[in-house]
Amino acid sequence: MDAIRAENLTRSFGDVLAVDRLTLSVAKGELFGLVGPDGAGKTTTMRLLTAIMDPTAGDAWVAGYHSVREADAIKDSIGYMSQRFGLYPDLSVMQNVDFYADIYGVPRRGRSEKVENLLAFSNLTPFKKRLAGNLSGGMKQKLGLVCALIHTPKVLFLDEPTNGVDPVSRRDFWRILYQLVRDGVTIFVSTAYLDEAERCARLALIHQGRLLALGTPEEVKQIMRDMILELRTADPRRAAALLRAELTDCSVGLFGDRVHVATRELAATQASAESILRAADIEINSARRVAPTLEDVFVSVLAQEEGGARHE
């Protein structure tokens, strides 16, 4: 039996369709990613699956329970860490953990050992007397995770847990998630970071509430029919802006010091791009074809969805 299953899950707010007939499943013990831009419907999907919100249509089951008919059973079986997890800044790390343990009805017998293990697991033991309000962003996220895990949930939902967190803390956070998966916890995580999506066993790409792609990161990359031309220039931001304006039948993305152009005609596009940049006195350091990344797929698919790419 799947840990999570959604069938034609739909939620509308007036005339706005936030989640549009979403169908997917997540296996037990799987690390699954929900990927999409701001406003794609990620948080609404999370709220539907965690039984916080009822769907307008469709069904969902989590840990074997129906999200509407058995909502209380779902809430007892899951951990949920929202974008603004409710830590109490004037309580210490230990007091926050104890508070959530009381909320979840964690028995006093054996609680201390469980708390100590979770704090050690997340490297928070040295900070258990520190006020939560005085923690760094990454440490707050780890404390939120500890609080969400205190009742040993079968399924863990994380809504953009590393948003705004520094790269080192993001890496540490994902190390913790990998260990949880090894321990048999099913994790459903939403993210706008494409490098994080690569870490998931499978992922779903959504936009405007609709499922655009579903599968392993490699399978999702295969929906990309365009080739990727990578250009390194002395002024990548200006180069990307120029190419977006001139190469209207291509999708153009900026990746640090690299510009990626998605095209069906590699040679012709490369010639045009080099001509455009040279005319603007932008030095080209290199131009080559590269394999598409998830971010390339993301940029290209969204451009097509918004009518900014070539129509067949």
The pLDDT of residue 301 is: 77
Long-range Cβ contacts of 242-249 (<8 Å, 24+ apart) = 242/276, 242/277, 242/280, 242/282, 243/273, 243/276, 243/277, 246/272, 246/276, 247/272, 247/273, 247/276, 249/309, 249/310
The pLDDT of residue 305 is: 67
The pLDDT of residue 138 is: 87
Q: For domain 4-220, give the CATH superfamily.
A: P-loop containing nucleotide triphosphate hydrolases (3.40.50.300)
Span 15-20, average pLDDT: 95
- pLDDT single digits (tens) 76-118: 899 999 887 788 999 999 999 999 999 888 998 888 998 998 9
- pLDDT single digits (tens) 219-257: 998 888 889 999 999 899 999 999 999 998 888 989 888
CB–CB of 261/231 below 8 Å?
yes
Reduced to 3 states (helix: H, G, I; strand: E, B; else coil), residue 223 is coil
Residue 264 has pLDDT above 50, yes or no: yes
Sorted by where each begins, the domain ranges of the chain are 4-220, 227-305
Choice among 88-92, 135-139, 278-282 with the minimum mean pLDDT: 135-139
Residue 71 has pLDDT above 70, yes or no: yes
CATH 1.10.20 is held by the domain 227-305: no
Residue 179 has pLDDT above 80, yes or no: yes
The tokens describing 146, both together, are: 């500890």
The tokens describing 138, both together, are: 């990454």
Name the pTM for this structure.
0.85
Report the alpha-carbon distance of residue 195 to residue 201 in Å, rounded.
13
